[in-house]
Structure 1
């Protein structure tokens, strides 16, 4: 599903109004109807039927005024706190403002209320609707409005934001001074970029996408390069399992992983690959951990490698090279450890790979010392760094990446011609052509040792099953998060482990 930038959404609005001759006030009415439907659903389980609407003077406020009129006609007690200026009301907002006035709906200005009166209105309400600012906000919220939003957030009421929580920048998810912390956001036509990026994602709550009448032709033809994968799209993309088939149909993976101190990383990656449907996983691991892996991954084929201080040594290269030539995809990195000879092996793998390559963990640490290797490669490469690893790859502070994740991952993928999965609360999957997917699955319980190794196995498995590498990265990240969500329901956010994810992969896939 496409995700809109502020500029892209404005273009779609303009095309709908100017080229398709859909009255702007009709779009506003449809927006208000969509929010009304959600408000009425929530009121069904409330003892009181009182709705408090905070409305600005722009079109977002106009949605709020129209909503007040519609709720009034449903016998809901509505109060409006107008936080804008009457002289600055947008045209359609002014029409709906006057209609609300004519119906006798209570409208009070922010300036007319004391703090105690504001608190009374908030406490008296069943639901609060945030119709203050839309996606176009560019300045910080200050003064009385900032104080009012702070009060809204304090009192634990169910808050519904219209299009985007007020105070969230629509393209970046950054907070402009303060932001409404909504339990639900009703966004129109398409979700907005800032709803998925942190910290904005923490303020959006549940995201509901409402059709307000923007023609499907406008949405289909709009050039947008951000997406999220929906559950329906994921199901359609999962590789089929024909009746007449064999293990070779689902690919052969070479997994170069593990060390004496971290055998579990190789185990988790291999198990995840099998649970995702891979036909065969060939483990290339240090000799000293072979017996451990044999007990844990009974389905795997293993090649013991020469080692030095418990890690793969450069003498292992001929064996690694032989397996590479027999494989459909190669994954390198989980649990390898760090050392000169490990780095040398990783560089050789990148230089000589003739099939898609997935690089994670210590493979990324080795790569960070010689990024120019990427320019020499002729095969698709997927990198799966967390923010710390990304910092090492681009030689920039972690704070810079956190503040500019979209720009960072797009620029890196384009410069080095790689697919990058930047792992974070909202993981970003970037293609060299600028296309970007934002992952909406997963939870804080997945911030645990080994979870990244599981992701490596999943992505590699989808590639082995003939998925395009970019599709594999998108699907793999989504499935990884869904397995984590399922695990969290059983084990809890505090108790879940990376090994739980491996079990739930197959349950999610069905």
Structure 2
């Protein structure tokens, strides 16, 4: 789920009134944020901690303490005097020790200056600290992790993070189109006892843990005939590499039997260039594929535009689930009505330019763009981007 800042603050208030302790939640947030740092940087290095006076600063200090325990060098950059710190933040400061070693790489910066409760343009001394963080990233290639939100997000002076760890739930301002450049990678750390309100946005931020169950470990006696039959319709004389990449990806993703359908004039060359697991079948007329049995069909990469009408007819009649990409998307952009009454599921995977040809954005946000399209056509849309959307 996705919450506004006000909804998140209210969810925390309710959790505290039910007995949750801020210090316990802070410990969980810091421990998991440190784990995220170590995911990207397994070997200890130098960590510079920028922290403010509120609990966001406390989250950063707990993160640094957990990193120090596994050998990281810690450098503290505080923007306020100890007397200005919130009591819990001051307590966390007292539990951490500054360490210094000869190891300066990797260089990680923690942004714990401002939390979701901040508003307006950052004031001094925070604004200077934000500029300092960005300078470390620009001149020393520091990897910046923002705690809950990049400080100053939505303002002229804003931290540019490589990753942001959202605490409890993702916040609306983190997924705004203009925020991606500053938020970087987005991870969400659940907080026990903090629940989303009933009116929260039901959209989900998908992480690896959410997707892992879709690819369970296979049994020792599993054979290729039990792992699906996939057809790939791709490639042309001008773009043979697309067919090679697409069919290889199908094999690497775990498909048991992969057949690549290509124009007859390039079949011999591709047969010699492909990995041996891919079966190559020359086909001049896509209707020849309609009576064959496949669990899924991918169509489009490198097809060229010479067979647009044939592609549209195929997608109108094919009874297998189809993934539609690249030139197949360009083909249907001339007559998207072919998506209206398809006999099986269709997944479209456009990048922004392909999506614009298919369905102009017309000043919508990316999410509004996606929602308008899937309301008009009974398909699933995966809109590619630094923050890919699925609906």
Instruction: Tell me the equivalent position of 2:291.
Output: 322
TM-score by length of 2: 0.73
2:78 equivalent in structure 1 = 52
User: Hey, what does 1:98 align to over in structure 2?
Assistant: none
TM-superposed deviation, 1:334: 0.7
Partner of 2:40: none
Contact (CA 8 Å) 2:147, 2:165: kept in 1 or not?
yes
Are 1:8 and 1:224, in contact at CA under 8 Å, matched by a contact in 2?
A: no
Q: CA deviation at 1:337?
A: 0.3
Superposed CA deviations along residues 120-176 of structure 1, whole A, max 9, x for unmatched, are xxxxxx977533341674x555898656633453356886644211222xxxxxx33
Cα root mean square deviation, aligned: 3.8
Q: Alpha-carbon deviations, 1:272-299, whole Å to 9, x = none? A: 1112121222222111110022111433
CA–CA separation in structure 1 for the residues paired with 2:233 and 2:13: 53
Task: State yes or no: 1:65 paired with 2:86.
Answer: yes
Structure 2 CA distance, aligned partners of 1:247 and 1:427? 31
Residue 15 of structure 2 corresponds to 16
Which 5+ residue runs of structure 2 have no aligned equivalent?
A: 30-54, 99-107
User: Is contact 2:113–2:126 with CA below 8 Å preserved after alignment?
Assistant: no
Of 405, 408, 411 in structure 1, the residue corresponding to residue 369 of structure 2 is 408
**Measured at CA, do residues 258 and 159 of structure 1 come closer, stay the same or move farther in structure 2, by a change above 3 Å?**
closer
For residue 227 of structure 1, give the secondary structure of its aligned residue in structure 2.
coil
Cα offset, 1:264, TM superposition:
1.4
Q: Which residue of 1 aligns with 2:280?
A: 302
Q: Which structure 1 segments of 5+ residues have no match?
A: 56-61, 78-125, 169-174, 307-315, 431-510
Pair 1:49–1:257, CA change in 2 (3 A): closer
For the Cα contact (< 8 Å) 1:257–1:332, is it kept in 2? yes
Within-5 A mapping of 1:314-463: 316-323=285-292, 326-339=293-306, 342-396=307-361, 400=363, 404-430=365-391
1:236 aligns with 2:199: no
Higher helix share: 1
Alignment check: 8 A CA contact 1:262 1:335 kept = yes
Provide closer, same or farther for how the CA distance between residues 352 and 5 of structure 1 changes in structure 2, counting only shifts above 3 A.
farther
Q: How many residues align?
A: 347
Q: CA deviation at 1:351?
A: 0.9
Structure 2 residue 19 is matched with structure 1 residue 37: no
Matching residue within 107, 114, 119 for 1:132: 114
TM-score by length of 1: 0.58
Q: Secondary structure at the match of 2:157?
A: coil
**1:153 corresponds to 2:114:** no
User: 2:185, 2:361 → 1: CA distance?
Assistant: 33
Kindly provide the CA deviation profile for residues 194-247 of structure 1, in whole angstroms up to 9, marking residues without a partner as x.
4466653443467675565x516x359785533334334433321443344443
